[in-house]
Amino acid sequence: MYYVKSFEEDFYTKTIIKTKKEKFQSIEDIIETKIIRPNTLSFGVEQRLSTTILSKDYIKSYRPQGVIFTTEKKPDYVMPFDLVVLSNVDNVIVHYYRIKDNIHFYYNHQLIEGFDKFIFKNFNAMVKRFPTPDDTWNTVNKFREKSGYKKLANTKKRLFQYNEAVFHSDVPIKPVAIFGYKKEARLKAKELGLEYFRSASEFLKKYGK
């Protein structure tokens, strides 16, 4: 099973300190230590490391660059979308540039009551209940509407093209590849001695089952 941890363009994971997003862990540190540390604290949920499990139905990643890895550690839980789709707001914002000046406020939103119906112990249990992103999309919109919130606009469908595999503690990894469509990603891969791909989906074409 292949996992993805996405990075911003500077190849750092980030975390929120007071009201600002700060650098947390560099790609160089991750490759050297072979450890990824939990960096995300949002929506009233325990601090966590959010990753994506690649498969034929989940070929995207949160951001267009990152590291692909394997691990023997099991996720604490898995969800078939970006957790933000369950936040208790009518206008779910997709693009970071729209919230960067108020990111602490955005991350302090809570989750809709009953959100745990979309949390699964493992990937197989998740895809058994929701075989494709389209299945999940329809169920989530019914759930949001029944809970008193607006359905998601079609522009939010990209949030269902990747899943979230969540860990609550440090994850020991075996790095496999670096991906990203910009020159910096290719240079990072060369510098760190890893195979390079333009995207996670390109990686899947070669190594996916």
CB 63 within 8 A of CB 7: yes
Q: Is residue 167 part of a domain?
A: yes
| pLDDT value for 104 | 46
Where residue 166 falls (left for φ over 0; alpha for ψ -120 to 50; beta otherwise) is beta
Task: Provide the strand spans (E) within 86-183.
Answer: 164-167, 171-172, 174-180
3-class DSSP assignment, residue 147: coil
Rounded Cα–Cα distance for residues 55 and 161 (Å): 10
31-69: pLDDT as tens digits: 999 999 987 765 555 678 999 999 988 888 888 899 999
**Inside any domain, residue 194:** no
What is the count of structural domains for the chain? 1
Contact 194, 177 (CB under 8 A): yes
Summarize pLDDT for 91-123 with one digit per residue, the tens: 776 554 444 554 544 556 678 898 989 999 999
Q: Specify if 37 maps to a domain.
A: yes
Does residue 28 lie in a domain region?
yes
- Residue 162 placed within a domain: yes
Q: Residue 41 is encoded by which pair of tokens?
A: 């604290």
Q: For residue range 1-39, list pLDDT tens digits in order.
A: 999 999 988 999 887 766 677 788 999 999 999 999 987
pLDDT at 9: 87
From CA 198, how far away is CA 21, in angstroms rounded? 27
Residue 61 lies in a domain: no
Structural domain includes residue 137: yes
CA distance 196 to 123: 26
Tell me, yes or no, whether 158 lies in a domain: yes
Q: Domain range for residue 141?
A: 3-53+73-174
- E runs forming strands in 80-118: none
Yes or no: say if 57 and 110 are a contact pair by the CB < 8 Å rule.
no
Please check whether residue 58 is in contact with residue 52, taking contact to mean a CB–CB distance below 8 angstroms. Answer: yes
**Amino acid letter, 94:** V
Task: Look at residue 184 in the predicted model and tell me its pLDDT.
Answer: 93
The HSE-up count of residue 29 (CA atoms within 13 Å, CB side) is 9
Average pLDDT over residues 125-136: 91
Average pLDDT for residues 124-151, to the nearest whole number?
Answer: 92
